[in-house]
Chains A and B, each alone.
Chain A
Amino acid sequence: MTRHHKSIETRHYEERASFFGDLERLSNMSRRGFLEIAGLSAGIAAAKGLVTPVGFQLIDMAQAAESNRPGFSFAYISDAHLYKKELNDRFVRSILKAVDDVNALDPQPDFVLFGGDLAQLGQKEELDLGAQILKSVKAPVKMMVGEHDWFLDMGEHWRGLFGAPQYSFDHKGVHFVTLMSVNEKDFWTAHGMTPAQRMQTVAGLDNGTQSRFEVGPEGREWLKNDLAKLDKATPVVVFSHSPLYKYYKNWNFWTDDADEVQAILSRFDTLTVIHGHTHQMLTNRIGNIHFHGLLSTAWPWPYAPTGLPSLTVQMNRADPFNAFDGCGDGQVSVLMSGMVDKLYNLWNRDPVTIKASYLSSYGFKDRPPAAKLASY
């Protein structure tokens, strides 16, 4: 969104800085990789028009040779579900643990995505507490909204703290889009609900009174416009709170207009959706779109009883006797190809990485270890 309001000059200098930054980092990381890519100086490459005029996109150049090398990484914290700390300190301790995790990363991630559901019941105190905690994250934080943040005051306080819920930005040749995917059609007026009752209803995963999540016509229109100018070769990463596909309707592991949204996204060669809400290891691929779920810091959800996307490797059932088990945070490593390796940093367990090659080979290569205790 903001990029449309930047001057051409500003964008030029940003892209230039990003381009040279990439080259510098790449040469530090792998001398050979650097040589293989160019074999001549970056200045010459740019001058000869070997990079696209859209920007100084190193990724386009790198694709052939070094597509599986890491380009940059970002970390995530998600689904903290904070109550006021006087009421419940368990979830506060959990998000603090995640903040410590990402602050301890070396090298630091380029930014940290917060995946939505900062609050449990959308209250000011809850959101303020979350905002205060996230201030101690060293890397820049990108915020996404969840339904628990929204349905008390329809996002008023959240927007006051964090701005518009739907926005996009470009980072090192990748176009990032954050969607507001947890809109619901009005179910509350007919039931004469107060805002608190509306919030409580939406907060109940198995509460069938509510509507299903959707990006909605306006959101889809915004998305279409945002992506309109991009070439189909541009790598795109979409953040949405709900999974942008239809997983399990009864628990709103679901986006009602997922098909329409996928239709907008499907023209891109390399497109990744990172979503919150499901509190579990969750992997899917539909056409060229790769989907990854996020872990919650607060609690894990069970897997849907109706079955899982075939590429999902389940995580072990959580041990209820360990408050942190099945919870965690993680990182996303964006490869030079624009595809991503997705790391689930499960607390008290071995971390699990879902590699881009696993998804691009439809599960043939690099299958992560299976769960010992599958759900039943």
Chain B
Amino acid sequence: MSAPAWSLVLIAATLSCSSLAFGADDAPRHVLPASPDGDLVVGLCDGETSVVAKGIKPGDAMTPEQGQRIADALMGEWRRKHPEAAWDKMIQVAEADAVGQAKNAGKDAGPAAVAPFQAQTYGAFDARDEAIWKASTQQLIDEGDRIFHDAKALGGTVAISCDMCHPNASNTHPETYPKYQVQIGRVALLRDMINWCIENPVRGKPFADDDPRLKALEAYIISQRKGVALDYGKH
């Protein structure tokens, strides 16, 4: 059990690094207290718990043993704060099942053995979590749907919206990108074609790569091709 916890910390560290690297303003950040001696501070993915790695400065290479100690310290601290926590209950159930199966193995075959679940924090979500995620995803798709059908939201100047040629985003083929787009003489992504349409038939200004409208349009277009096999390069 300590091994998964160790990798958990690494994930936490990687995530916090990457969010800094991309500088996304809307992503939540973990603010860690500074160490008085300038030692490395490592945070847990709960965004609150942290430990000071004594004698290790930021950027120093760590041995696996040192990493393990930090991970154990973080887990210990988290468990102390959450004495009632049962997040790894599934593992215990699974282990119990496994023991049960082992006992039964000697006797003749009963009902087919059910494989025990692997368990981890990442997989520890329930139907409510899934409903929230689905709704969030749908929200982005719906926003794309709205923009796709609205010449003004597209920034168009000739009252042409995407749906006029592409009802339900048909004939957009998101699954075929990247592909060599003969008419523009280079390899294009779906977003290049979205922007081409915005500039030409729609007579608007192309969206920047990080424009939320472009993200929403991509989400809507892809959502309309659910189940179609990826087939990049297809003409």
Contacts and interface: CB of A to CB of B under 8 A. Distances in A.
A4 B69 CA distance: 99
B166 interface: yes
A206 B168 contact: yes
Contact of A375 (B158, B171, B183, B197): B171
Nearest to B165: A299
Interface residues of A, number: 24
B170 A90 contact: no
Contacts of A251: 167-168
A88 B159 contact: yes
Given A205-B163, A323-B201, A90 B168 contact: no
Contacts, number: 49
B164 A319 contact: no
B220 to A, nearest CB: 12
Interface stretch (A226-234, A261-269, A300-308): A300-308
A208 to B, nearest CB: 10
A83 B159 contact: yes
Contacts of B198: none
B171 A88 contact: no
Contacts of A207: 149
B158 A302 contact: no
A204 B163 contact: yes
**Could you tell me the dominant secondary structure of chain B's interface residues?**
loop
B149 A87 contact: no
- Give the interface size bracket for B toward A: 10 to 19
Given A250-B168, A302-B171, A320 B159 contact: no
Contacts of A87: 158-159
Contacts of A305: 168, 170
Interface in A291-321: 299-302, 305, 317, 319-321
A242 to B, nearest CB: 15
A376 interface: yes
Q: Is the interface of A mostly helix, strand, loop or mixed?
A: loop
Contacts of B158: 83, 87-88, 90
A307 to B, nearest CB: 13
A320 B197 contact: yes
A376 B183 CA distance: 19
Contacts of B235: 373
Given A88-B158, A302-B170, A320-B197, A204 B149 contact: yes
Nearest to B158: A88
A321 B183 contact: yes
Interface in A238-271: 250-251
B183 A206 contact: no
Most buried by A among B168, B171, B183, B201: B171
A15 to B, nearest CB: 45
Contact of B160 (A88, A301, A319, A321): A88
Interface string A198-238: 00000011110000000000000000000000000000000
B173 to A, nearest CB: 7
Contacts of B168: 206, 250-251, 305
Contacts of A317: 171
B212 to A, nearest CB: 23
B138 to A, nearest CB: 16
4 A-B pairs with the lowest CB-CB distances in the bound complex, closest first: A206-B167, A302-B171, A321-B183, A205-B167
Interface of A: 83, 87-88, 90, 120, 204-207, 250-251, 299-302, 305, 317, 319-321, 323, 373, 375-376
20 contacts: A87-B159, A88-B158, A88-B160, A90-B160, A90-B201, A204-B163, A205-B164, A250-B168, A299-B164, A300-B165, A301-B167, A302-B167, A302-B170, A302-B171, A305-B168, A305-B170, A320-B165, A321-B200, A373-B235, A375-B171
Interface of B: 149, 158-160, 163-168, 170-171, 173, 183, 196-197, 200-201, 235
Given A88-B159, A317-B171, A321-B183, 17 more contacts: A83-B159, A90-B160, A204-B163, A205-B163, A206-B163, A206-B167, A207-B149, A251-B168, A300-B165, A301-B167, A302-B171, A305-B170, A319-B183, A320-B196, A320-B200, A320-B201, A373-B235
